[in-house]
Homo-oligomer: A and B are copies of this chain.
Amino acid sequence: MIILGVDPGLTRCGVGVVEAGAYRRLSFIHVDVVRSDPHASQDLRLKTIYDGLCAKMDRFIPDVVSIERVFAQENRNTVLGTAQAAGMAMLAAAQRGIPVALHTPTEAKLAITGNGMAQKVQVERMVARILGLNTLPKPADAADALAQAICHALRPAGALQGGEREEHLTEAQRQWAEATQRAVKAQHRRNVDRGM
């Protein structure tokens, strides 16, 4: 199964592609950053991001597109552009009939390091180790895109997607759901503390 991960952004939109084989073995396929000119108008920037994401999807024909979930309480200066870039990825996937999964950064950290609060560098090191890379993927957007793709492959079977109900969970699924909820609540508390 080919998974294309997206770390959405208007200036830099990370794209990471991995192949998930038997026994959850993961292989690195591609990583890149689609960029748009910060001095261009918003509509042209979105078209640049959209065109770049379409080209990646047409090149790697992913079975699923895994996009980092955007929250409204994030940085007000960039959150709308980030949400719109995520929208470009969703549209490009929907036009190709490719299913879309959304995972929070906390879910990605949890799936990759076992700790939803892991530091960025810990996640980057684990991404490199899981994929057998000799160096850490750069820039951060590229690493986050790979983390999104890996997260989708390594999440517990049947892990909840947004809006799904917590019925008939296995023990592993329940632990994942609980850990995610704890981490999301802690993130929310930090945002409130910081007046966001």
Question: Which A residues contact B (CB, under 8 angstroms)?
Answer: 41-44, 46-47, 50, 70, 72-73, 76-77, 79-80, 83-84, 86-88, 90-91, 93-95, 100, 102
Contact = CB atoms under 8 A, between A and B. Distances in A.
Number of copies: 2
A125 B57 CA distance: 48
Interface of A is mostly: helix
Which of A47, A73, A76, A87 has the most chain B CB within a 10 Å cutoff?
A87
Nearest to A47: B94
Nearest to A89: B43
Nearest to A80: B83
Contacts of A43: 90-91, 93-94, 100
